[in-house]
Chain A
Amino acid sequence: MTRIALTVNGSRCDADVEPRQLLAYLLRDQLGLKGTNVGCDTTSCGACTVLLDGESVKSCTVFAVQADGCEVTTVEGISQGRELHPVQQAFHELHALQCGYCTPGFVMATISLLKENPNPSEEEIRLGLEGNLCRCTGYHNIVRAVQAAARAGA
């Protein structure tokens, strides 16, 4: 076991992990943060996307030991109390989800995208979210939500 210390959603977390423990499962199983979903488990679908030191990563493809000393933000860490994050609010208002399984990953990927490019074109949004898959209904409302979040200054 390896002792690691990381900051998750602003709080310091100490954990003993096997080196092969993935960040996604540290978050879900040891820290109880079930908002980070695991979909494909093969670096494809993006459902497990979290921010690692402010940048989107697929937490199924990061060993927890690689996050030692880093800041991790999950979907649980972005709202202010009951007030949704502007990206969450935009997804809610524009019906950018159906079953919701992919949504935490899309929201975290969108936050990272808008940080790097605050005013993306439609094409930049589609390319910027190419690492996230929605199997319910498609991407049109997701793109509209990202545009709305960008306008709201998310």
Chain B
Amino acid sequence: MIAAAFEYELAGSVDEAVAMLGGDEDAKLLAGGHSLIPAMRLRFSRPSLLVDIGRLDDLRYVHENGDRIAIGALTRHAELVRDPVLAQHCALLAEAAALIGDPQVRHRGTIGGSVAHGDPASDLGTILLTLDAELVARGADGERTIRAAEFFTGPFENALGHQEVLTEIRVPRAAGTYLKHVRRAHDWATVGVAAARVDGRVQVGLTSMGTTPLRARTVEEALASGASPADAAAHAADGTMPPTDVSASSEYRAHLARVLVRRALERL
């Protein structure tokens, strides 16, 4: 299908994008477009104005910044996959990026776009939540930092204001793994599981087990109290309400979560 008509403006800077967003309450940001364009083509999304930030190459970077790794919001999935800093200090983020879509999608899709789109089946949101990442947003009133735990507010919803642009994502150095169960190549996660050791603590996150990325808190508490991976993993679906859809039933997702959490913990 063809997207509904819209106006288009190319932003030359973040501040310019912020100003452009301010002029139209139905405006949306366009980064790599690999979540937004399909949604627009299905007319699930009908912005009146697209503010294209896709050329802001100064937001494409990964570098060490104190005890954190700073990632520019427009860094593409393919760049995350081959980044040497992530490979050394936060390999599970690169591992998860390598499982997104297919090579063509990874050449265009960006970490900021994926996270801001907020699909509960997307992989990177789970990684950020698991790692207690910080998300930096710039708006008309300046810059603020949002904790991942407060960022994901609902399906396709987040804590960004209309005029805010996500500019940077900060993650800690962490060892971990991401396991993703899919029914076929380049599919969304039926269930995804992240497990990471952050500051000596094991933290576990879940994809496609609810309306946002989730933390498996009961699993984390069990591990902290000395439970074995297998015993802790039995709690993977506690407190979740996984959806039933064409990929899987709610019960099957709960089963997958328990199996994948056990495997992820055993790999840590």
A residues touching B (Cβ–Cβ < 8 Å)?
A: 2, 18-20, 41-44, 46, 49, 52, 55-58, 61-63, 65-66, 68, 109, 112-113, 127-128, 130-132
A73 to B40, CA, bound (A): 26
Residue of A nearest to B54 (CB): A66
Residues of A close to B54: CB separation below 8 A: 66
The main secondary structure of chain B at its interface with chain A is: mixed
| Range, interface on chain B | 20 to 34
Contact B1 A49 (CB under 8 A): no
Q: Assuming A57-B107, A61-B38, A63-B8, what are 5 further A-B pairs, CB within 8 angstroms?
A: A19-B7, A56-B107, A62-B33, A68-B10, A128-B103
Residue of A nearest to B108 (CB): A57
Distance of B167 from chain A, by nearest CB (Å): 20
Residue of B nearest to A17 (CB): B8
Partner of B103, one of A44, A56, A68: A56
B246 in contact (CB, < 8 A): no
The 6 closest A-B pairs by CB, nearest first: A131-B102, A19-B8, A130-B185, A55-B107, A20-B3, A131-B104
The main secondary structure of chain A at its interface with chain B is: mixed
Residues of B close to A46: CB separation below 8 A: 102, 104
B243 in contact (CB, < 8 A): no
B105 in contact (CB, < 8 A): yes
Distance of B228 from chain A, by nearest CB (Å): 33
B6 in contact (CB, < 8 A): yes
B37 in contact (CB, < 8 A): yes
Residues of B close to A68: CB separation below 8 A: 10
Residues of B close to A128: CB separation below 8 A: 103
Contact B103 A112 (CB under 8 A): yes
Contact B34 A43 (CB under 8 A): yes
Residues of B close to A43: CB separation below 8 A: 34, 37-38, 101, 105
